[in-house]
């Protein structure tokens, strides 16, 4: 696996001045009893798992529904993603990697926590944690098993190491039984983890189509 982190790498797990001010404010407001850290955690969790990844889910659902869009996403992810209005910091240089029956893709940032914010929101804690960052490369199948994902032995697992210059979005395989679904219903099947590669798309409930 190539490792392309270079000296321009942005270590965003160190507090920048803005993050340090936020941390200081949270501490003061908590000490004065003005905010409840649990409530703040709940808001962060919402961005991590609900609001943020819905953008990526729309990208994936459109790629599943529209072959021309999928092709565009493959060739020029920046433009294809921006066409849906998802632009911003930490998402300037995107590459979409498509799962196939032969190859499963999984994303990590071995040096810190590079993550495609405009399509996935805030990175989950485990993504930033050293065990995932080291083990995703050494033992991707072991990590997948911990996420409840078991792939056929003959399926290749390809691990992509994010950098400040290049962020990856995994396009999971469209699940069986989703033929009759529209884009909005399809997006419901696209989990955050399926776009990192530590999960698969949900199988639709029977009768949904
Ligand atoms: Fe990083």
Q: DSSP labels for 32-87?
A: TTSS-HHHHHHHHHHIIIIIHHHHHHHHHHHHHH-HHHHHHHHH-HHHHHHTTT--
Q: Which pLDDT does position 50 carry in this prediction?
A: 65
Tally of CB atoms within 10 A around 161: 20
Cα-to-centroid distance, 110 and ligand 1 (Å): 7
Residue ranges of the chain with per-residue pLDDT less than 50:
1-8
Task: Give the DSSP H/E element, type plus range, for residue 161.
Answer: strand 156-161
Q: Output the CA–CA distances (angstroms, integers) from residue 52 to 26, 153, 155, 192, in the order listed.
A: 22, 32, 29, 9
Instruction: Check 112, 162, 178, 194 and give the catalytic one.
Output: 112
Q: Which pLDDT does position 72 carry in this prediction?
A: 98
DSSP 31-43: HTTSS-HHHHHHH
**194 carries an active-site annotation:** no
Q: List every span in the chain annotated with CATH 3.90.330.10.
A: 52-196
Cα-to-centroid distance, 163 and ligand 1 (Å): 5
Who surrounds ion ligand 1 at CB < 5 A? 109, 111-112, 114
Q: Which pLDDT does position 83 carry in this prediction?
A: 95
Q: Which pLDDT does position 200 carry in this prediction?
A: 97
Q: How far apart are the first and last CA of the chain?
A: 40
46-96, pLDDT tens digit by residue?
777 767 899 999 999 999 999 999 999 999 999 999 999 888 777 779 999
Q: Which pLDDT does position 105 carry in this prediction?
A: 98
Q: Is the pTM of this model over 0.85?
A: no
| CATH number assigned to the domain with residue range 52-196, chosen from the 4 options 3.40.50.10070, 3.30.450.40, 3.50.30.30, 3.90.330.10 | 3.90.330.10
């Amino acid at each position: 696996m190539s490792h392309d982190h270079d000296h321009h790498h942005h270590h965003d797990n160190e507090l920048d001045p803005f993050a340090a001010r936020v941390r200081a404010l949270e501490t003061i407001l908590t000490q004065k009893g003005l905010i409840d850290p649990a409530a703040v955690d709940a808001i962060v969790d919402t961005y991590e798992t609900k609001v943020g990844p819905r953008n990526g889910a729309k990208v994936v659902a459109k790629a599943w529904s529209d072959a021309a869009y999928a092709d565009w996403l493959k060739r020029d992810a920046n433009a294809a993603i921006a066409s849906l209005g998802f632009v911003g910091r930490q998402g300037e240089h995107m590459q979409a990697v498509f799962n196939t029956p032969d190859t499963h893709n999984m994303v990590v940032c071995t040096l810190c926590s590079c993550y495609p914010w405009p399509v996935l929101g805030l990175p989950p804690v485990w993504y930033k944690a050293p065990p995932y960052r080291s083990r995703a490369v050494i033992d991707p199948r072991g990590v997948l098993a911990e996420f409840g994902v078991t792939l056929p032995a003959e399926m290749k697992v390809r691990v992509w190491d994010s950098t400040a210059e290049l962020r990856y979005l995994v396009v999971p395989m469209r699940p069986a039984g989703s033929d009759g679904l529209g884009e909005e219903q399809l997006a419901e099947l696209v989990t955050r983890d399926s776009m990192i590669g530590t999960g698969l798309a949900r199988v639709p409930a029977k009768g949904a189509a």
